[in-house]
A and B are shown apart, each in its own frame.
Chain A
Amino acid sequence: MKKIVCRCHDVTESDIEDAIDSGYDDFESLKRITGITTGQCQGKTCMDLARGILERKTGKPVTQTTRIRSPIDPITLGSLVKSTAKKK
């Protein structure tokens, strides 16, 4: 039975615990190795849960959020580029 932490990438509690045990015991490394906070929802569900697991396992408080960059919501590439259709 799985305990899902990140719904976007299907990362389970044991995936995160394993990663911490392998030495990825700060939030930024954990994010890079498991893919949490990088799915379609950009960490809205998993960030808090993963932080809780990390704190429980390492006993150290996590005092920083992960770096946030634009765009924070999924957007199509098509809506960002200018249409060239009229110039033809």
Chain B
Amino acid sequence: MVDWRIYEHPILEFDRGEEVTIYLDGEPMKAFESETVAAALYANGLREFSKSIKYRRPRGFFCAIGRCSTCMMEVDGVPNVRTCIVMVKAGMRIKRQKYLAEYLSPILNLMKLPPQVYMRLMTRPGIIYKPAMMVMRQLTGLGAFPKKVLDPPPQNQGAQGEISTEFLIVGGGPAGMQAAIEAGQRGISVVIVDDKDRLGGQLVKQTHTFFSDIKYAAGKRGFKLGEEMISQLDQLPNVRVITETSAVGYYPKEDIMLLKGPNNTTLKVNAKKYLVATGAYEKTLVFENNDLPGVYGAGGVQTLLNVFGIKPGNRGILLGTGNVALMVAYHLIQAGIEVAGVYAPSFRRVRGYFVHAAKIQRHGVPVVTRHTIVKALGRKEVKGAIMTKLNTDYSHVPGSQFKVDCDFICIGVGLNPAYDLVQLFNPKMVRSGVLGGFVPIRDKTYRFAENAYIAGDCGSIEEATTAVLEGGLAGLHVTEALDIRSEEISEKITEYEHALEEDRSSPFSAGLKTAMNEITVDDIMEVLT
């Protein structure tokens, strides 16, 4: 039986929990309790998780953190479950959603319908809409409706709760956790929610050491920093941690944040202050076959590798030379996986820190700028990549194409701030290239709407250390806004601001500082009205 799990790693020890058996289309598979369904299936060699809706292309998972939509399968009778954020349970039955599409796809592929037709197909007349939808649903592989109400319903199935609190934090990454710590230590009642099964955000997969000289993070490996923050939170009785729960909406009129938990449960939260610390989405690239199983986001590969201890493949290439791409390349080498090369379209030398680039070059991995990917090769999964050299106007240099053998392609070309929850508070959004995308205007206390604050990557794409500092500051400013003031708080704020200033003072951050000043105003309410 194939097993892609890593059992020996120089830095990480994987506590996988108890071994259980799950079933994919009736076939038993080895899984561990601490794995997500997608991770367990991947470890067993599954690469194609679903078929795409229109062209029925094979799809693997991409982000591994519940952001994209390509890993949906039927789990215990429920269709369209994002398998990358659902934990394994003993005896779980997973089904591929294929149905009719599998048999009809050759015929359907011949009828090349333009997208407009596809989107409006069979909506009128009303009489044929229902049977037509049934056929369409089968064709698309969107999954069958459950035949009956699940019997017996899982515990708490569909429970609806309502709570109110002083401070609700959405996002349990470095920014959210630090805000919870600072506010929690000063007696504020805090609720912190995260959609994963554990807090830590992306820290959980950072095996490298932070070399910033901030005392909060210096010399610590990312996942250790995360563990420390979690244990600090554990000691605060007034901080309530809710995991496996995501924010689905904010309704300003009712001042309610709607949260979605496991088993169709919902929770309405009314808070005096909200902090949005939802992080970022991975950027991706447009090239031929860019949706083939084996093309993954850098974060997805990191999750597989460092959280679950599963090899993404035997030989891969990385696209992008930012710190994320360089770091992931190093993590892959650490785990004993061959890296065929790190390629990036940028014309400057490597964008990330030189130290990281040097580290992987020492292992014989080429770091190549002025190159981009043209095509991913393979029918059902990645078998190779065609690369090309670029002219200064980003056109391809004729005749410069070459093939690289690899079984996975990892895209690490940067991050977009998670803009969606932020926008539900009706902020003033501006676009900033330096900060990664659309971000809200905020004031010096990190307030971007009447009762909402922002911290971390969703406000500006930076690093985990800056996220910690921004989170801390936001937590303290919220504490002050809730009328708890003291000399100690203002001192702490100054201390954080000083550290943040220092963190952004490297030559890498010159543009960043200007951009931050541009989106920070004195009176936020003036901007909003």
When the two chains form their complex, are residues B419 and A7 in contact, meaning their CB atoms are under 8 A apart? Answer: no
Establish whether residues B438 and A71, one from each chain, have CB atoms under 8 Å apart when the complex forms.
Answer: no
Residue of B nearest to A77 (CB): B264
Among B53, B160, B420, the residue within 8 A (CB) of A10 is: B53
In the complex, B238 has a CB within 8 A of chain A: no
Number of B positions contacting A (CB below 8 A): 52
Contact assessment for B286 and A79 in the assembled complex, using a CB-CB cutoff below 8 Å: no
Q: Which residue of A is nearest B283, CB measured?
A: A48
- Complex CA gap A5/B288 in Å reads 10
Point out the residues of chain A lying under 8 angstroms from B429, CB to CB. Answer: 64-65
Query: Cβ of A9 and Cβ of B438 under 8 Å apart?
Result: no
Q: How distant is the Cα of A65 from the Cα of B419 in the complex, in angstroms?
A: 9
With A and B bound together, what is the CA distance between A83 and B291 in angstroms? 40
A44 proximity list for chain B (CB < 8 A): 67-68, 281
Chain B residue nearest in CB terms to A41: B69
Q: Which of B69, B116, B258 contacts A71 (CB 8 A)?
A: B258
User: Would you call B260 and A3 a contact (CB within 8 A)?
Assistant: no
CA distance A49 to B413 in the complex (A): 12
A-B contact count (CB 8 A): 127
Q: Which residue from B52, B115, B116, B286 sits with its C-beta under 8 Å from A3?
A: B286
Contacts A7-B62, A73-B246: A2 and B55 contacting too (C-beta < 8 A)? yes
Contact B416 A48 (CB under 8 A): yes
Indicate if B266 sits at the interface (CB-CB under 8 A).
yes
* Chain A residue nearest in CB terms to B429: A65
A15 contacts B by Cβ under 8 Å: yes
Taken together as a complex, chains A and B put the C-alpha atoms of A35 and B119 apart, in Å, by 7
Q: How far is B70's CA from A13's CA once the two chains are assembled, in angstroms? A: 18
In the complex, A63 Cα to B37 Cα: how many Å? 39
Are A70's CB and B250's CB within 8 A? yes
Q: Is B424 a contact of A68 with CB atoms below 8 Å?
A: yes
Q: A48-B437, A64-B429, A72-B248 are in contact. Are A33 and B116 (CB under 8 A)?
A: yes
Contact A63 B291, beta carbon cutoff 8 Å: no
With A and B bound together, what is the CA distance between A14 and B3 in angstroms? 39
Number of interface residues of A (CB under 8 A): 49
Min C-beta distance of A68 to chain B, whole Å = 4
Once A7-B52, A41-B67 are accepted as A-B contacts, the answer to whether A73 and B248 lie under 8 Å apart by CB is: yes
Binary interface profile of A, 52-78, with partner B (CB < 8 Å = 1, else 0)? 110000000111110111111111101
Closest residue of chain B to A71, judged by CB? B248
Measured CA separation A41–B70 after assembly (Å): 9
Cβ contacts A to B, 27 pairs, < 8 Å: A1-B288, A1-B289, A2-B55, A2-B288, A3-B288, A4-B52, A4-B290, A7-B52, A7-B69, A7-B291, A9-B53, A15-B114, A33-B119, A41-B67, A49-B286, A65-B423, A68-B423, A70-B250, A70-B258, A70-B424, A71-B249, A72-B248, A73-B248, A73-B260, A75-B260, A75-B266, A76-B264
B residues sitting closer than 8 Å to A (CB atoms) are 52-55, 57, 59, 62, 67-70, 72, 80, 114-116, 119, 158, 160, 246-251, 258, 260, 264-266, 281, 283-291, 375, 416, 419-421, 423-424, 429-431, 437-438
Residues on A facing B (Cβ under 8 Å): 1-5, 7-11, 13, 15, 18-19, 33-35, 39-45, 47-49, 52-53, 61-65, 67-76, 78-80, 82-83
Extra inter-chain contacts (17) besides given A43-B420, A70-B424, CB under 8 Å: A2-B289, A2-B291, A4-B291, A9-B119, A10-B52, A18-B114, A33-B115, A48-B283, A62-B431, A68-B419, A70-B249, A71-B249, A72-B421, A73-B260, A76-B264, A79-B260, A83-B158
Q: Which 9 A-B pairs have the closest CB atoms?
A: A70-B249, A10-B54, A40-B69, A79-B264, A1-B288, A71-B248, A68-B423, A4-B291, A41-B69
